[in-house]
C-alpha cells in the first residue's frame, strides 16, 4: 500500500440514471475503503444534488446504441428510433430500478444520504447553479456550493474521475 | 500470551486479513482492534457479531448496507466506530476475509 493516503475526486456531469450510479457506487466504495472522497456535481449531474430533481432521474432511451432489455431478453436489441416513443424512458428507468433494487443498491436519494453520512464531501458546481438559478437552499442536505477553482485546490494530488 | 505474541501466531493474508477465520476468538478480535487503535465497545460488538453470523451463514462478510439495514447501527455511526474504511476494518477485527460486495 502507498504511504500517502489516497484521495478520490469524482466529477459527475451527467443526469441520467445509468451515468449517475457509477459515480455514486465509486464514491461509496472509496469511503468504504477509507479513501478521502470528494464529489463535484456539475451541469446535468447537478440534478443529483438538487432536492427537487433527485427523485426524478431517468434513463435516456434515445442516443444510446447499447440500449437493450439485457436482464430480460439479452437477444432483443432495441433500435434507437424506438426510444423516441412516449414512455420508453420511464419503462427503461422502471426496469433498471427493479434490477438495482434486486442487488440491494439503494435508490438515488437514499444512496446520496448514505454517501454524505459515510463522510464524502459533496459539492454543487457554482457556475452550473448560477446558470440554473439555484442556491445552496436548493441542494440536498450535506451538499455545498463550490467553484471550479476551489475544486482545483481540493483535488490537488488526488485521483480524478470524470463521469 | 502477550498481545504481540498472539498477533504473531496468526496467519495473515497480503492485505492483513486473517487467513483462518475459525481460529478467531473475541480476545483476538480485541487485540486486532487494539492494534488498529480501536477500543471495542458494545456498539462495535453488535457489528462484529452480526458480521460473523452473516459470514457463517452466507460465506461472505456482509456489505455495509446490510449491516446498517439489519442492525440498529446507522451509516454515520458505523464509520465513526471503524474509522479508516468501515468495511475493511470491521472485517479485519471480526477475523473475516476482505469483503467483496460493492455497497
Domains by residue range for chain A, with CATH: 7-162 (3.40.1260.10)
Residue B11 pLDDT level (bands cut at 50, 70, 90): confident
Q: Is B103 inside any structural domain?
A: no
Identify which of A33, A34, A105 has the shortest CB distance to residue B103: A105
Q: How far apart (Å, rounded) are the C-alpha atoms in residues B29 and B35?
A: 10
pLDDT digits (tens, 9 = 90+) for A43-88: 999 999 999 989 888 888 777 777 777 777 777 777 777 778 888 8
Per CB-CB distance under 8 Å, the chain B contacts of A25 are 102-103
Q: Is B101 inside any structural domain?
A: no
Report the complex ipTM.
Answer: 0.84
Q: Does A117 touch chain B (CB under 8 A)?
A: yes
Q: Is B32 inside any structural domain?
A: yes
**Strand ranges for A42-92 from DSSP E:** 68-69, 73-77
- State how many domains chain B has: 1
Q: Burial letters for A136-153: b for 16+ Cβ neighbours within 10 Å, e otherwise?
A: eebbbeebebbeeeebee
pLDDT at position A78 is 76
Best CA proximity match to A60, nearest among A101, A100, A90, A21: A90
Q: By residue range, what is the domain housing residue B14?
A: 3-93
Question: Which of A23, A25, A34, A120 best tests the B interface by mutation, with the highest count of B CBs <10 A?
Answer: A34
Residue A21 pLDDT level (bands cut at 50, 70, 90): very high
Q: Is B20 inside any structural domain?
A: yes
Q: Is B30 inside any structural domain?
A: yes
Q: B10, B18 in Cβ contact below 8 A?
A: yes
Cβ contacts of B79 within 8 Å, gap of 6 or more:
A31, A117, A118, A119, B86
Best CA proximity match to B92, nearest among B37, A50, A155: B37
To the query of whether residue B102 is one of the catalytic residues in this protein, the response is yes
Identify which of A28, A33, A35 has the shortest CB distance to residue B103: A28
Phi–psi pair at A30, nearest 5 degrees: -65, -45
B64/A32 CB distance under 8 A? yes
Amino acid at each position: 500500500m502507498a504511504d500517502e493516503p489516497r484521495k478520490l475526486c469524482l466529477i459527475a456531469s451527467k443526469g441520467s440514471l445509468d451515468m449517475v450510479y457509477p459515480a455514486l457506487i465509486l464514491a461509496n466504495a472509496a469511503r468504504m475503503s477509507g479513501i478521502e472522497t470528494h464529489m463535484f456535481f456539475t451541469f446535468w449531474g447537478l440534478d443529483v444534488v438538487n432536492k427537487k430533481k433527485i427523485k426524478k432521474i431517468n434513463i435516456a432511451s434515445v442516443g444510446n446504441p447499447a440500449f437493450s432489455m439485457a436482464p430480460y431478453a439479452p437477444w432483443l436489441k432495441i433500435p434507437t428510433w424506438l426510444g423516441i416513443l412516449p414512455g420508453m424512458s420511464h419503462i427503461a428507468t422502471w426496469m433498471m430500478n427493479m434490477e438495482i433494487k434486486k442487488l440491494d443498491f439503494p435508490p438515488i436519494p437514499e444512496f446520496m444520504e448514505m454517501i454524505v453520512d459515510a463522510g464524502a464531501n459533496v459539492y454543487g458546481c457554482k457556475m452550473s447553479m448560477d446558470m440554473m438559478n439555484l442556491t445552496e437552499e436548493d441542494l440536498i442536505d450535506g451538499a455545498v456550493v463550490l467553484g471550479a477553482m476551489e475544486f482545483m485546490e481540493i483535488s490537488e494530488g488526488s485521483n480524478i474521475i470524470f463521469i | 500470551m502477550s498481545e504481540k505474541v498472539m498477533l504473531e501466531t496468526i496467519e495473515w493474508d497480503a492485505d492483513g486479513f486473517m487467513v483462518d477465520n475459525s481460529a478467531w476468538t473475541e480476545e483476538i478480535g480485541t487485540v486486532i482492534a487494539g492494534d488498529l487503535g480501536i477500543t471495542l465497545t458494545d456498539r462495535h460488538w453488535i457489528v462484529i457479531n452480526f458480521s460473523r453470523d452473516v459470514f457463517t451463514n452466507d460465506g461472505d462478510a456482509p456489505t455495509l448496507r446490510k449491516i446498517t439495514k439489519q442492525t440498529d447501527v446507522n451509516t454515520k455511526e458505523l464509520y465513526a466506530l471503524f474509522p479508516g474504511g468501515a468495511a475493511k476494518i470491521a472485517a479485519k477485527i471480526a477475523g473475516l476475509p476482505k469483503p467483496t460486495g460493492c455497497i
